[in-house]
Amino acid sequence: MAVRLLRRGAGAVFVLLLPLALVLGNLHWMLLDLSFANDLWQLDPRTDYLVRMVPQGFWLGATV
């Protein structure tokens, strides 16, 4: 009885999470392809004021 319930539960989780994984996989691809297709997102410390005004520790913390 318990094994059957465990299998049903595992199957239900798989059925529910598979579409979510597919959507998130496509979302991840769209984000990378559309947002980072060029190098405009890279900031140059010599010319960009945003990098000059905000300390490097902030960027490290935001990334982590």
Per-residue pLDDT of the chain (64 residues; tens, 9 = 90+): 788 999 998 888 888 877 777 777 666 666 666 666 677 778 888 888 888 898 888 888 988 8
- Contact between 51 and 44 under an 8 Å Cβ cutoff? The reply is yes
Q: How is residue 36 annotated by DSSP? A: S
Q: How far apart are CA 39 and CA 48, in angstroms?
A: 14
Q: How far apart are CA 37 and CA 33, in angstroms?
A: 5
pTM above 0.75, yes or no: no
What pLDDT is attached to residue 55? 84
Domain count, the chain: 1
- Domain enclosing residue 46, as ranges: 2-63
Q: How far apart are CA 6 and CA 10, in angstroms?
A: 6
Residue 53 C-beta-side C-alpha neighbours within 13 Å:
3
